[in-house]
Amino acid sequence: MVNDYYEILGVSRQASQEEIKKAYRKLARKLHPDVAGPDAEDRFKDVTRAYEVLSNPEKRQMYDLGGEQAFSGAGGAGAGFGFQDIFETFFGAAAGAPRGPVPRGRRGQDALVRLDIDLSEAVFGATRELQVDTAVICPTCNGTCCRPGTHPQTCEVCHGRGSVQRVTRSFLGQVMSTTACSACQGHGTIIPEPCQDCAGEGRVRTRRTVRVEVPAGVDSGTRIRMSGQGEVGPGGGPAGDLYVEIRERPHPVFVRRGDDLHCTMAIPMTAAALGTVLPLDTLDGAREVDVEPGTQPEQVITLRDLGVGHLNRAGRGDLHVHLDVQVPTRLDDRQRELLAELAALRGEEQPEPRLAATGSGVFSKLRDKLAGR
């Protein structure tokens, strides 16, 4: 089955790099196995594969010329291809000169780990240490794949070229083709005595500690790329990248919306009517909330620059305090007497209902919430 990478990402062939990136982020969040479950793992891999190719201008050009088959050779999409590779993909091995031995060392795979952080770490940034199980250079052979004291030997079949030539007959006459040497797998050398600790891989698996700098403003789903911190490749090849995916834990008091924080503060009816100053423990320490006389239910007081730090830029969001004015439900005789006296002074013993104008009041606010405004 041939995959259309543009169709997988849901973009046109003329899509810009920004459009491709935006489409990938949207699909990756939707199809991630932690969100959509294991059934979406195959689609998540297809989306990631398509993004790896289309986000790289060189790989995208090769894909536009040769389709998915342009990346079917050894090494996958990360190996790098030229027009000779496409020619061989469609017409078989060319009759040209050998391309030389294949390096034994190859780039390692990228790795993905998840990091749970608190809201305060997202607000101010943090430095964390992660334990990562990954492949590292074999300390015994230092990536040579050979037992200490030994060295790779030149292949006697291809004499170090990594490829062999053969002549076949066809309706076009004799055709000379070049193929990888089966004796050395195209490397041009063989390992007579592999390292016992890594079994000739040049790398071993171990657990190591990685220091992660979490910038202020990260959110759930944000990925931090750590270049060269992934798995070391076979044959002691260069390491891939490590991606740290952020997951933000819920906070018991504050709710995050973008870079702004929201909380609800309950105040008595008398405080709303008379006005007061109330203390609030914010993530920046104790602050005062100035409640003006005549404050209405659901009124919002904004404390500037006490929200989440903006990612990769200066400044912070705001903290919005939603006031919940509480009406007493139990009154003793003296309290009831005082309220009745207040009602008499205000001429409210028998209040007449007043309908709020369209666009204001409790029902309009409820309608706006249901409409997602």
Burial (CB < 10 A; 0-12, 13-18, 19+), residue 206, is: exposed
* Tens digit of each residue's pLDDT (9 = 90 or more) over 161-170: 998 887 776 5
**Residue located via tokens 């909330």:** 289
Contact between 49 and 42 (Cβ < 8 Å):
no
Q: What is the CA radius of gyration of the chain?
A: 33
Exposure string for 178-200, b = 16+ CB within 10 A, e = fewer: bebbeebbbbbbbbeebbeebeb
Higher pLDDT, 26 or 286: 286
Higher pLDDT, 109 or 88: 109
Query: How far lies 263's CA from each of 323, 362, 373, in Å?
Result: 9, 20, 19
* Tens digit of each residue's pLDDT (9 = 90 or more) over 96-135: 444 678 888 899 999 999 999 999 999 999 999 999 999 9
In one letter, which amino acid is 371? A
In one letter, which amino acid is 62? M
Handedness of CA 213, 217, 218, 223 (dihedral sign): negative
Contact between 193 and 146 (Cβ < 8 Å):
yes
Reference 253, options 280, 293, 216; nearest CA is 280
Confidence of residue 32 (pLDDT cuts 50, 70, 90): confident
pLDDT at 69: 64
> Does the pLDDT at position 78 exceed 50?
no
Confidence of residue 358 (pLDDT cuts 50, 70, 90): low
d(CA 343, CA 340): 5
Length of the chain, please? 373
Query: How far lies 167's CA from each of 164, 174, 225, in Å?
Result: 10, 6, 49
Reference 128, options 209, 226, 220; nearest CA is 209
pLDDT at 223: 94
Contact between 163 and 184 (Cβ < 8 Å):
no
Q: Which residue intervals of the chain bear CATH 2.60.260.20?
A: 93-250, 255-370
Give the tokens for residue 126: 């943090």
pLDDT at 190: 93
> Does the pLDDT at position 239 exceed 70?
yes
pTM of the model: 0.62
> Does the pLDDT at position 90 exceed 50?
no
Q: If you classify domain 93-250 with CATH, what class do you get?
A: mainly beta
Q: What does the pLDDT average to over 288-292?
A: 95
> Does the pLDDT at position 95 exceed 50?
no
pLDDT at 48: 87
**Residue located via tokens 């496409």:** 86
pLDDT at 222: 95
d(CA 4, CA 128): 40
CATH superfamily ID and name for 255-370: Urease metallochaperone UreE, N-terminal domain (2.60.260.20)
Reference 71, options 137, 166, 5; nearest CA is 5
d(CA 276, CA 292): 7
